[in-house]
Amino acid sequence: MRITGDDEYKKYDLDNANNFDSELIERKTRKRHEEGYQKREEKRSDRHYKQHQRVLNKCNQCYFNETRFLQDYVIAESDTVYVAFPSSISPLHPQDKEPLTHLVISPKSHFGNFVEIDEQIQTELRNFQKSIIAFYLECFGMQTVFLETSIQSDHFIPHAQMECVGFTNDDTDMEVFFKKSLQDDDSEWGTHKKIIDTKARKGMIWRCMPSTGQFNYVHIDFNGMGGFAHVIEDSKKFGKTKALEVLGGAMGHDFVNLSIPYRKEKAEKYVKDIRQRFKKYDWTRYGGSKK
């Protein structure tokens, strides 16, 4: 009589047979779970996609959104970036002066912030920053502060925008003013201070922060030489115009109402004036990327 080997014996072992079955069931159940998960994920990303499409359709800062984009406010443009007069907020400017020293730079396509932009946009953005620094300095004797507030949520990814504001104060004072104001808020809200120095990278925020994951920050850069980024922990308490309001305060405005933009006719007059003066400093006119 042949003695059945262990392996062979298992074939007839009831317990093992049961085990086999239960493994099969487990595999099938897992598969069903995975399929369910995948379907849910697909549904979720589909919903996310539709939500994003709705944001894009409504976005008046997307250059290619023909029905909403305010082409009339564009001061200068390259292949992937444009410079415009602020259309949705009141421009900041020293008191009793015309509002010619507040511009915004944005990528033409929809990006959530300047950490996410690609290399071509980075280069064109840097060039426009240099153009604006020279423009403010030579035409108005002013320094330039660049401000970006990036506040995103699952439901809304606003269009990246960099405020470029001329100021007459000493820039070191301006930095101290900003830091103090943001730190005061930190202690007020009981959060940890999270300041990232961007001077070593000359304000190139995409080299200072990780491009993955959702995070909110405000970045302040003086004359394109860097400054600091402040991580926003509670975006509900940190409004998207807060940094501009701080800047308004530093510039000696008693009250800055950022919710009332200029009337269109008035804005267009300023746009015309800025376009005329900016021409000389526009890097795209000197053999660079042109539209």
Q: Name the site residues for Zn ion (rule: CB under 5 A).
A: 59, 61-62, 110, 159
Q: 266 Cβ partners below 8 Å, 6+ apart? A: none
Element (H, E) at 102: strand 102-107
Cα 90 to Cα 31, 146, 165, 257, 265: the distances in Å are 56, 16, 12, 7, 14
Quick one: which of 129, 85, 128, 104 has its CA closest to 285?
Answer: 128
Quick one: which of 59, 128, 93, 56 has its CA closest to 267?
Answer: 93
Q: Whose Cβ is closer to Zn ion: residue 69's or residue 228's?
A: 69
Q: Whose Cβ is closer to Zn ion: residue 159's or residue 242's?
A: 159
Q: How far is the CB of 61 from Zn ion (least distance, A)?
A: 5
**Which DSSP symbol is given to 33?**
H
Q: How many CB atoms lie within 10 A of CB 276?
A: 10
Q: How far is the CB of 59 from Zn ion (least distance, A)?
A: 3
Q: Whose Cβ is closer to Zn ion: residue 78's or residue 161's?
A: 161
Quick one: which of 121, 109, 117 has its CA closest to 65?
Answer: 109
Q: How far is the CB of 155 from Zn ion (least distance, A)?
A: 15
Q: How far is the CB of 65 from Zn ion (least distance, A)?
A: 7
Q: Whose Cβ is closer to Zn ion: residue 56's or residue 134's?
A: 56
Q: How far is the CB of 104 from Zn ion (least distance, A)?
A: 13
Q: How many CB atoms lie within 10 A of CB 200?
A: 10
Q: Whose Cβ is closer to Zn ion: residue 61's or residue 90's?
A: 61
